[in-house]
C-alpha cells in the first residue's frame, strides 16, 4: 500500500537522533532532538493521511521473521493510529519544554528520543514478545528521566515507579508464554480471534490485569503516580500523563477484552468497583492538595477510571468514549503540566498559595490555563466533554448506579479544578515575585497553542478522531457480544426483551451491531 516501511522509519528516526545526542554538545543535542521529533511528527501526518478508513483492519504491515517464535512484525489499526499520533504530537512540545535542563543535556535528549521509539513500538507491534519488549523497556528512559533530572525526592519516586510497574509485568510474561504454547503463534491479530479455554481465561486476564492496572494507574495501585509526577521534570510529567498512562488502556483494548472476553465480563464488576472508588476517592484527595502537580496527578487517576468503566461497558459508546477520553486526557493533562512548568520556571515553586492574581500580569497565560481547566472539567465544546459523555452513556446501558457514582467525579472534578484556577489566576496578588512575572514568551506560545487548537478541534468535530477507530471498535464490540453482561435497565412495554433473550441464548441479538 505504501512503498516505504513507514513504521520502521518512525522508529529509526528518533533512535538515530538518540545516538547522535549522546555524541554532541548540549546546544547541538537540543537541535537534533527537536529535529528528530519534528520529522516523526511529519511522518505521523503522512501516516494519518495515508490511512484508509474502511480499508483493511491492519495497515502499513511489516513482517520480518528474526528467529523461531519471534518476528519484527509491525502494523496498525485505527486505535493504534490515534495513539501514535498523540505520541508524535506531544514529543516536539516536550523537547521545547526542556529548555531549563542544563545537566547532562545530551543524555536527557537521548532518553526522550528513546522513549519515543518505545512508545511508537508499543502501539505498532504485532508480535506478542515484541510488544512486551517495547512495553517494558519504556520503564528505563522514564526511570532515568525522573531519577537524574527530577526533584529533591527523585530517587525514591523513580524506584517506586520502577518497582510498581515491573512487578505486575512479570505475571504478564508468564501468561504470554502459556498463550503462545496454547495457540501456537505469537501473532497478536491471530490471538485476538483465538478462543482460549474459559477456565484459563480468568487466570490469563488476572495476569494481564496486574500489569495494565498499574500502568493506567487504577486504585489502589496508583500511589506511584503522584510521586513520579511531582519529582519528574515538566517534560517528563507531560509524556508520563500524555502517553505512558495510555499504554494500560491500550493493553485492555488490545489484549484483555478481545483475547479473554468471558473473563472480562466476569471481572467487569471488579473493574466497576475499583473505578468508582478511584473517581470519588482521588477527586476528594485532589481537593486538599497544596502542590499543583500532585493535584493534576490525582485528577489523572480519576479520569483514567472513566476510561476503565467505559471499556468494560461492552458496548460501542463505552469503547469509543474511552478512546476519546484517553486522547483528550493526553492533550489536556499534558497541557496542564506545561502550564505548571511555565510558572515554575519563573518562581521555582509549585505551592498553590504562593500564586494568586496571575490574570493581572499574565493574561495570555491565564487564558490558556482556563481553556485547559475547562477541558479537564469536561466543558461542552472541548475534548473532555465528548469522551466523558460517550463513556458515561455507554456505562449507563449497563449500570445506572455505576454511572451515578462516576458522574459525581465530574462534579468533584469541576470543584478541584476551578478551585485551583481561582487561587492561581484570580484573587489578590499576595506575592510580589508572582506579581512581577512576565507573560508567555514565543517558545511557550509554540508549546501551548497547538494543544489548545487540538483540544478545541476534538471538542467541536470529534468525528476526525472517531472515524479511523470506528471499524476497529465495531469489530471489538462484535467479539465481546457473546459475553456481554445483562444491564440493570428494565425493558419498557413494547420494547423487545433484548437483554433477557441474549442471556438465554448466550449470543448477541440479531441486528445488535
Q: Where are the domains of the chain?
A: 271-466
CA separation for the pair 219, 383 (Å, rounded): 24
| Residue range 86-100: mean pLDDT, rounded | 88
For 389-410, letters b (16+ CB in 10 Å) and e give bbbbbbbbbbbeebbebbbebb
In whole angstroms, how far apart are CA 44 and each of 34, 41, 81? 15, 5, 9
Nearest 10 degrees: Cα torsion 417, 418, 422, 424: 20
pLDDT score recorded for residue 453 = 92
Residue 494 pLDDT > 50, yes or no? Answer: no
CB atoms near residue 421 (< 10 Å): 20
Angle between helix axes 400-425 and 292-311 (nearest 10 degrees) is 160
Instruction: Write down the mean pLDDT value for the chain.
Output: 83
Length of the chain equals 513
The x, y and z cell numbers of residue 204, run together, are 490469563
pLDDT tens digit string along 4-21? 788 888 888 889 988 888
pLDDT score recorded for residue 451 = 92
Specify the DSSP class assigned to residue 267: T
CA separation for the pair 428, 439 (Å, rounded): 18
**Greater confidence, 97 or 100?**
97
What proportion of the chain, given as a percentage, has pLDDT over 70?
A: 93
CA separation for the pair 328, 388 (Å, rounded): 10
Residues 6+ apart with CB under 8 A from 29: 20, 21, 105, 106, 109, 110
Q: Is the peptide bond before 358 cis (omega within 30 degrees of 0)?
A: no
Q: Is the peptide bond before 245 cis (omega within 30 degrees of 0)?
A: no
CA separation for the pair 309, 402 (Å, rounded): 8
- Nearest Cα to Cα of residue 376 among 433, 491, 296: 296
- Strand pairing partners for 154? none
pLDDT tens digit string along 444-457? 888 899 999 999 99
The x, y and z cell numbers of residue 358, run together, are 496571575
pLDDT tens digit string along 161-207? 878 777 778 888 888 888 888 887 888 888 888 888 888 888 888 88
SS3 category, 52: coil
Contact 226, 281 (CB under 8 A): no
pLDDT confidence bin for 261, thresholds 50/70/90 = confident
SS3 category, 68: coil
Amino acid at each position: 500500500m505504501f512503498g516505504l516501511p513507514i513504521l520502521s522509519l518512525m522508529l529509526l528516526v528518533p533512535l538515530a537522533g538518540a545516538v547522535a545526542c549522546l555524541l554532541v554538545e548540549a546546544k547541538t543535542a537540543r537541535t537534533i532532538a527537536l529535529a528528530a521529533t519534528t520529522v516523526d511528527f511529519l511522518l505521523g501526518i503522512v501516516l494519518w493521511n495515508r490511512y484508509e478508513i474502511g480499508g483493511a483492519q491492519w495497515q502499513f504491515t511489516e513482517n520480518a521473521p528474526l528467529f523461531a517464535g519471534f518476528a519484527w512484525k509491525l502494523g496498525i489499526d485505527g486505535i493504534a493510529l490515534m495513539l501514535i499520533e498523540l505520541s508524535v504530537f506531544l514529543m516536539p512540545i516536550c523537547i521545547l519544554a526542556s529548555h531549563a535542563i542544563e545537566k547532562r543535556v545530551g543524555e536527557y535528549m537521548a532518553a526522550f528520543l528513546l522513549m519515543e521509539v518505545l512508545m511508537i513500538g508499543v502501539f505498532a507491534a504485532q508480535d506478542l514478545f515484541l510488544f512486551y519488549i517495547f512495553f517494558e523497556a519504556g520503564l528505563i528512559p522514564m526511570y532515568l528521566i525522573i531519577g537524574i533530572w527530577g526533584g529533591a525526592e527523585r530517587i525514591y519516586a523513580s524506584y517506586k515507579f520502577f518497582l510498581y510497574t515491573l512487578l505486575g509485568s512479570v505475571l504478564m510474561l508468564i501468561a504470554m508464554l502459556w498463550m503462545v504454547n496454547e495457540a501456537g503463534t505469537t501473532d497478536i491479530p491471530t490471538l485476538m480471534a483465538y478462543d482460549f479455554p474459559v477456565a484459563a481465561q480468568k487466570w490469563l486476564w488476572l495476569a494481564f490485569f496486574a500489569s495494565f492496572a498499574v500502568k493506567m494507574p487504577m486504585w489502589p495501585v496508583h500511589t506511584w503516580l503522584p510521586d513520579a509526577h511531582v519529582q519528574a521534570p515538566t517534560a517528563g510529567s507531560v509524556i508520563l500523563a500524555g502517553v505512558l498512562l495510555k499504554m494500560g488502556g491500550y493493553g485492555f483494548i488490545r489484549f484483555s477484552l478481545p483475547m479473554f472476553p468471558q473473563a472480562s465480563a466476569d471481572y467487569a464488576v471488579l473493574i466497576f468497583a475499583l473505578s468508582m472508588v478511584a473517581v470519588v476517592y482521588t477527586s476528594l484527595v485532589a481537593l486538599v492538595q497544596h502542590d499543583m502537580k500532585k493535584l493534576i496527578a490525582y485528577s489523572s487517576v480519576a479520569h483514567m477510571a472513566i476510561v476503565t468503566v467505559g471499556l468494560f461497558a461492552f458496548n460501542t459508546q463505552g469503547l469509543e468514549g474511552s478512546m476519546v477520553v484517553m486522547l483528550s486526557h493526553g492533550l489536556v493533562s499534558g497541557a496542564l503540566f506545561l502550564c505548571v512548568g511555565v510558572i515554575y520556571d519563573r518562581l521555582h515553586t509549585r505551592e498553590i498559595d504562593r500564586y494568586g492574581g496571575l490574570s493581572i500580569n499574565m493574561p495570555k497565560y491565564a487564558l490558556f490555563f482556563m481553556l485547559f481547566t475547562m477541558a479537564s472539567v469536561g466543558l461542552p465544546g472541548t475534548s473532555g466533554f465528548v469522551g466523558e459523555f460517550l463513556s458515561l452513556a455507554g456505562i449507563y446501558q449497563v449500570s445506572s448506579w455505576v454511572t451515578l457514582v462516576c458522574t459525581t467525579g465530574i462534579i468533584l472534578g469541576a470543584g478541584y479544578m476551578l478551585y485551583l484556577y481561582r487561587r492561581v489566576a484570580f484573587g489578590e496578588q499576595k506575592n510580589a515575585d508572582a506579581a512581577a512575572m512576565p507573560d508567555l514568551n514565543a517558545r511557550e506560545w509554540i508549546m501551548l497553542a497547538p494543544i489548545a487548537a487540538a483540544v478545541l478541534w476534538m471538542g467541536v468535530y470529534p468525528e476526525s478522531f472517531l472515524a479511523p477507530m470506528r471499524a476497529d471498535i465495531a469489530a471489538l464490540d462484535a467479539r465481546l457480544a457473546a459475553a456481554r453482561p445483562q444491564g440493570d435497565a428494565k425493558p419498557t412495554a413494547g420494547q423487545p426483551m433484548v437483554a433477557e433473550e441474549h442471556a438465554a441464548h448466550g449470543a448477541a441479538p440479531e441486528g445488535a451491531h
